[in-house]
């Protein structure tokens, strides 16, 4: 059977520049070393021949693993008949980097340190890089100091091991070694562009220690006071790990094309920064007491958007603000569990999604105390421009927050977030300068609210539905009380919550986005927790929260969705929205009155 671990088998490594996935069996099956959205040198995640780097005992055994507390440094312990050995994996931080410096000048080095615990364990290393998502098979060259250089196209990789004479065998490196109790062997794999500076050279043990200290610096400055602190801190660490520090952009997920349904074609590239996800991340990091760099992160958003005119505000950007993210298929890749196509790029950048400005303005309002009494010019212009665009376009149909690719509709949640945009813009007006028009914004805001209340309600269904005039339920209706459009105790909203829970909910705490959705959507499940808490049902909300927690993997990681039959994780991973949902739901259980 082809190598195909479950999505939940993967652990997440990050240096806040790039990310890697390492399976329970010790195989690094995904690494895009230059940036989160750059071409992968290991893509076995999407094709058995896509490249990997495995270190594991020759003899099979029991595996247990955990992150070092408040880090994305992963320690996997293999218990075999020969003894026990630990493999610690990390993406190296720059020497001396601490906290929010992590990722500014990351050396693009993957560290793997093998430590003998008991007995004497025979280990096997299998290194098969395949740059450009498996399109390239590199030349391998043995180096005098015992390492191996791999070169192909624009990529140079150097693999080294302390005290290990590594040699290539054709297009890969295979190496067997023994580790006794108390013995440590370190490996480092360094990336660089083929025509620039050479790959960095690090001592794996020293670099690993530095990386742990860099992550631990976050713990020293962030203090979350609410319920479920361990889970919140894990999710906040994941969100930090998905942040591209150089610009402040937050990747929606680490991966591309992990399917929403096995064998299906809803396989999209999530390695970019959606403005909606970015704004929700800012709120979640505020809850988790991590808002320290709000000004810089909003500066990224303002510069990426640029001056706002008549065209819709783009939905997503590349990590340094690139706008054209045109989609293409990688026909040479089989896809995860033969789920094709595999896509690079995301054509959602062309869509109109009316809720996006509201998400961004709401995030500015949430963090305005960190942004100063007078906003910087670019931030003022962004908020005013977004508010003006909402005021002039809210009557148009759009693709909605689920980014449908069929036709535009008048989505209820989109209109409600247009209301949110103008409501928060009115509140921010004293900081927005002479171009602010709070009187007109307030009038349009009130018109939007009246329209949603009138057109979004379906008397026969007894709920606010997905779109005006539709009888189709949509879990995005749960977002209305979450953002304050309606209180959860409003009779119609209370009815909507119950109808969605009954018709779209499942016995194991999951909520589908719509009736034909084949999987539970983790974010929507956490929205239901928030709604129940705000509706005065704290025990029911807490019980549901505990159920959803049970769908995380052993490291506390969530993909986008959960299969209703098998309970397997589906979709891109780790998914920022899922972890955002956890953080906000935990805080809502702590303080249901929070706005």
Domain ranges of the chain: 7-219
447-455 contacts: CB < 8 A, separation 24 or more?
448/394, 448/415, 448/416, 448/418, 448/419, 448/422, 449/419, 449/485, 451/415, 452/412, 452/415, 452/416, 452/419, 452/485, 455/410
Q: What angle do CA 268, 274, 279 make, to 5 degrees?
A: 145
* Cβ atoms 57, 85 nearer than 8 A: yes
Per DSSP bridges, beta strands 83-91 and 74-80 are: antiparallel
- How far is residue 320's CA from residue 248's CA, in Å, rounded to a whole number? 9
Q: Is 311 exposed, middle or buried (0-12, 13-18, 19+ CB in 10 A)?
A: exposed
- How far is residue 280's CA from residue 218's CA, in Å, rounded to a whole number? 20
The residue written with tokens 């779209």 in the block is: 504
| Cβ-based neighbours of 373, under 8 Å, separated by 6 or more | 431
- How far is residue 423's CA from residue 428's CA, in Å, rounded to a whole number? 9
Low-confidence ranges of the chain (pLDDT < 70): 1-3, 289, 291-293
Q: What pLDDT score was predicted for residue 1?
A: 37
Best CATH choice for the domain 7-219 from the list 2.70.98, 1.10.260, 2.40.128, 2.60.120:
2.70.98
Q: Is 425 helix (H, G, I), strand (E, B) or coil?
A: helix
- How far is residue 332's CA from residue 421's CA, in Å, rounded to a whole number? 43
Q: How is the chain split among helix, strand and coil, in percent rounded to 5?
A: 35, 25, 45
- How far is residue 93's CA from residue 99's CA, in Å, rounded to a whole number? 10
- How far is residue 295's CA from residue 209's CA, in Å, rounded to a whole number? 30
Q: What pLDDT score was predicted for residue 309?
A: 85
Q: What pLDDT score was predicted for residue 51?
A: 98
Q: Is 417 helix (H, G, I), strand (E, B) or coil?
A: helix
The residue written with tokens 């070393």 in the block is: 33
Q: What angle do CA 573, 266, 469 make, to 5 degrees?
A: 110
Mean pLDDT of the chain: 95
Q: Is 465 helix (H, G, I), strand (E, B) or coil?
A: coil
pTM of this structure: 0.96
Q: What are phi and psi of 178, to 5 degrees?
A: -115, 145
């Amino acid at each position: 059977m082809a190598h195909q671990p479950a999505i939940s088998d993967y652990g997440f490594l990050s240096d806040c520049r790039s990310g890697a996935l390492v399976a329970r069996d010790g195989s690094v099956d995904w690494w895009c070393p230059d940036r989160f959205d750059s071409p992968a040198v290991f893509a076995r995640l999407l094709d058995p021949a896509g490249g990997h780097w495995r270190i594991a005992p020759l003899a099979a055994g029991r595996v247990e693993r955990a992150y070092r507390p408040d880090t994305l440094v992963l320690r996997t312990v293999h218990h075999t008949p020969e003894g026990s050995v630990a493999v610690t994996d990390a993406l190296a931080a720059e020497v001396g980097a601490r906290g929010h410096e992590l990722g500014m000048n990351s050396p693009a080095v993957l560290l793997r340190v093998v430590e003998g615990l008991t007995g004497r364990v025979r280990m096997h290393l299998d290194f098969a890089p395949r740059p450009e998502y498996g399109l390239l098979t590199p030349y391998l060259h043995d180096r005098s100091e015992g390492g191996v250089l791999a070169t192909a196209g624009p990529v140079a990789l150097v693999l080294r091991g302390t005290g290990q004479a590594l040699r290539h065998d054709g297009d890969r490196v295979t190496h067997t070694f023994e580790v006794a109790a108390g013995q440590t062997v370190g490996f480092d794999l360094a990336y660089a562009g083929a025509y620039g500076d050479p790959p960095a050279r690090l001592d794996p043990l020293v670099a690993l220690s530095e990386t742990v200290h860099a992550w631990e610096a976050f713990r020293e400055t962030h203090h979350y006071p609410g319920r479920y602190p361990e889970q919140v801190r894990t999710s906040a660490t994941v969100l930090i790990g998905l942040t591209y520090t150089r610009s402040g952009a937050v990747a929606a997920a680490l991966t591309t094309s992990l399917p929403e349904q096995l064998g299906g074609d809803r396989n999209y590239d999530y390695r970019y920064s959606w403005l909606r996800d970015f704004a929700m991340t800012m709120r979640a990091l505020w809850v988790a007491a991590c808002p320290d760099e709000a000004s810089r992160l909003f500066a990224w958003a303002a510069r990426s958007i640029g001056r706002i005119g008549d065209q819709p505000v783009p939905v997503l950007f590349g990590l340094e603000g690139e706008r054209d993210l045109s989609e293409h298929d990688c026909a040479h890749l089989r896809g995860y569990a033969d789920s094709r196509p595999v896509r690079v790029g995301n054509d959602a950048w062309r869509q109109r999604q009316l809720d996006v400005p509201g998400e961004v303005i709401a995030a500015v309002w949430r963090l305005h105390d960190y942004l100063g009494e007078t906003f910087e010019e670019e931030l003022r212009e962004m908020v005013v421009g977004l508010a003006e665009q909402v005021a002039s376009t809210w009557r148009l149909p759009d693709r909605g927050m689920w980014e449908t690719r069929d036709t535009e509709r008048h989505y209820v949640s989109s209109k409600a977030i247009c209301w949110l945009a103008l409501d928060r813009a009115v509140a921010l007006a004293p900081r927005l300068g002479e171009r602010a028009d709070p009187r007109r914004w307030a009038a349009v805001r009130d018109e939007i609210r009246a329209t949603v209340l009138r057109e979004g309600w379906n008397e026969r269904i007894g709920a606010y539905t997905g779109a005006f005039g539709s009888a189709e339920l949509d879990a995005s209706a749960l977002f209305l009380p979450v953002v304050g459009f309606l209180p959860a105790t409003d009779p119609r909203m209370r009815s909507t919550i119950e109808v969605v829970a009954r018709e779209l909910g499942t016995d194991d705490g999951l909520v589908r986005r719509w009736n034909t959705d084949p999987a539970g959507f983790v974010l929507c499940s956490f929205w239901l927790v928030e709604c129940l808490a705000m509706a005065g049902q704290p025990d029911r909300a807490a019980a549901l929260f505990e159920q959803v927690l049970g769908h995380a993997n052993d490291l506390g990681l969530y993909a986008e969705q959960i299969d209703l039959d098998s309970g397997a994780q589906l979709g891109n991973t780790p998914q920022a929205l899922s972890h955002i949902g956890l953080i906000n739901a935990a805080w809502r259980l702590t303080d249901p009155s929070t706005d």
